[in-house]
Amino acid sequence: MPLITFKKAFLLSALALKSSATPTPSTHVSVSVNPKIRFQEVDGFGVSQAFQRAEDVFGKYGLSKVNQTHVLNLLYDKDIGAGFTILRNGIGSSNTSDSNFMNSIEPTDPGSPTAKPDYEWDHYNSAQFPLAEQAYSRDLQTLYANAWSAPGYMKTNDDENNGGYLCGVDNETCASGDWIQAYADYLVQYARFYKESGVEVTHLGFLNEPQFAASYAGMLSNGTQAADVIRVLAKTIKKSGLDLKITCCDGIGWDDQEAMMAGLEAGPDPAINYLDTVTGHGYDSAPTYPLSTKKKTWLTEWADLSGGYTPYTFYENGGVGEGMTWANHIQVAMRDAGTSAFLYWIGAENSTTNSALINLLVDEVVPSKRFWAFAQFSKFVRPGAYRVEASSSNANVTVSSFENENGKIATQLLNQLGVDVEVSVQIASLKSGVVIHPYLTNNEYDLEALNTFKSGKGGSFQARVPARSMISFVSA
């Protein structure tokens, strides 16, 4: 059967066509959306290409020119691909860019924290600089520069790897002196090099998973110690004249980030006042509740790092790398944790693992179902949108909804049941006769544009959502 016919038979509003492929009776679900009740503002969705993964996109492992462009379009073009608006760059701390190392802009120890630093700028930054240029030439809006560690000579363990603290933070002293100001200068210099070369860094972070002494670049910190750095970094940014927002602290899990909040809030000059965004990861604990802060929050890294390779699976058994699993993670983070952004770990890399959204197999490009799950959100929920109130009568047919700055409402329905559902949607304040564009992702389809239809009286419409499928309904 030609795909197109099947597709047209799938959705469908007033026509209420039954898919003959569905033996089980369908369930009826009511969904209501109220755009008058608004929650957090959205900054966007994104990925990183740190630790040399940017090189993969530029052909290190054989990706042809035409497919390099294709991958950039999939990641950053909102008409062709997912239209990611946030890129997380790694600020390197290594003295080399061999292997997976990210080279530092200050690879050699100046000898003391007050000595003149010997900064180096290669206009390349482990391919992250040209990547950022390419991303900005498409739909990127936010460049989040994030250091995993300070260079080793600024740390208690004299090593960029294996944990260690920044010399000078609470309870951590070094014979070489206090390096907090030198580190702040160094971070700002990274952004200055980018700006002087025509690329705007918008957000600056100085920690990654500070609870964990990794064998690779990383640095330990609790909230108090992070606060010591934030106060100095804020003054340094102010003096620099650069427009840079500070983030903290990329805790390894949501609970770990929550545990840092007290230290950020403490003291007569709370560091939280200098932060723009609180950032956390999803590994040890998922973002299922709001962090204790009034600041915006971003889920800045999470991925399936251990599951079997499942690029083509939207749903099989709820596995950790399946597309629907990630559609659900995004929806829960935005809805229950109130995050303003959601970033997967890697965008595209030459590998057959689930740690990226797009797998590159030499010159084959495989966007995973996770990628399409992200695109179901990122393509239609643009920066500046607000999440709005949405509820479903069925706990396994989940909903989220956002109103964009241009007034377009994007509503995501995730049918996690094993049966098709007939859904009655009502969007309060949506006029009748408004064209609705539905897009479907499931095991068979990747962000497939289904037939459009018009909203009925009181902003209502009917739709069939197939079992284990996601449909985004976008109002014109």
Which pair of structure tokens corresponds to residue 32? 């209501």
Peptide bond into 249 cis (omega under 30): yes
The CA-CA-CA angle for residues 60, 70, 125, to 5°, reads 40
| Contact in structure between 170 and 230 (CB atoms under 8 Å) | no
Cβ-based nearer residue to ligand NAG, 261 or 343: 261
Cβ-based nearer residue to ligand NAG, 263 or 321: 263
Q: How far is residue 45's CA from residue 85's CA, in Å, rounded to a whole number?
A: 6
| Contact in structure between 246 and 296 (CB atoms under 8 Å) | no
Cβ-based nearer residue to ligand NAG, 34 or 224: 224
Cβ-based nearer residue to ligand NAG, 19 or 95: 95
At its nearest, how many Å lie between ligand NAG and the CB of residue 187?
19
Cβ-based nearer residue to ligand NAG, 41 or 363: 363
Query: Where do contacts with ligand NAG occur on this chain (CB under 6 A)?
Result: 61, 64, 66-67, 95, 152, 159-160, 170-171, 222-225, 262-263, 350, 352, 361-365, 395-396, 416-417
| Contact in structure between 94 and 217 (CB atoms under 8 Å) | yes
- Is residue 277 within a helix (H) or strand (E), and if so which, with residue range? strand 277-281
At its nearest, how many Å lie between ligand NAG and the CB of residue 67?
4
At its nearest, how many Å lie between ligand NAG and the CB of residue 71?
9
| Contact in structure between 302 and 282 (CB atoms under 8 Å) | yes
Cβ-based nearer residue to ligand NAG, 64 or 137: 64
Q: How far is residue 39's CA from residue 402's CA, in Å, rounded to a whole number?
A: 9
Cβ-based nearer residue to ligand NAG, 293 or 451: 293
At its nearest, how many Å lie between ligand NAG and the CB of residue 476?
32
| Contact in structure between 217 and 243 (CB atoms under 8 Å) | no
Look at residue 132 and give its three-state secondary structure.
Answer: helix
At its nearest, how many Å lie between ligand NAG and the CB of residue 358?
10
Cβ-based nearer residue to ligand NAG, 224 or 240: 224
At its nearest, how many Å lie between ligand NAG and the CB of residue 438?
23
Total H helices, total E strands in the chain: 9, 20
Q: DSSP states of 274-310 as a string?
A: G-SEEEEESSSS---S--S-SSEEEEEE---SSS---
**Percentages of the chain per state (helix, strand, coil), in multiples of 5:** 25, 25, 50
Cβ-based nearer residue to ligand NAG, 263 or 311: 263
The two most distant CA atoms of the chain are separated, in Å, by 77
Which residues, 6 or more positions from 396, have their beta carbon under 8 angstroms from its beta carbon? Answer: 415, 416, 417
- Is residue 453 within a helix (H) or strand (E), and if so which, with residue range? strand 453-454
At its nearest, how many Å lie between ligand NAG and the CB of residue 421?
11
- Is residue 88 within a helix (H) or strand (E), and if so which, with residue range? strand 86-91
Which pair of structure tokens corresponds to residue 399? 């909903």
At its nearest, how many Å lie between ligand NAG and the CB of residue 14?
28
At its nearest, how many Å lie between ligand NAG and the CB of residue 66?
5
**Closest to 87 measured CA to CA, from 54, 41, 42:** 54
Cβ-based nearer residue to ligand NAG, 10 or 315: 315
At its nearest, how many Å lie between ligand NAG and the CB of residue 220?
9
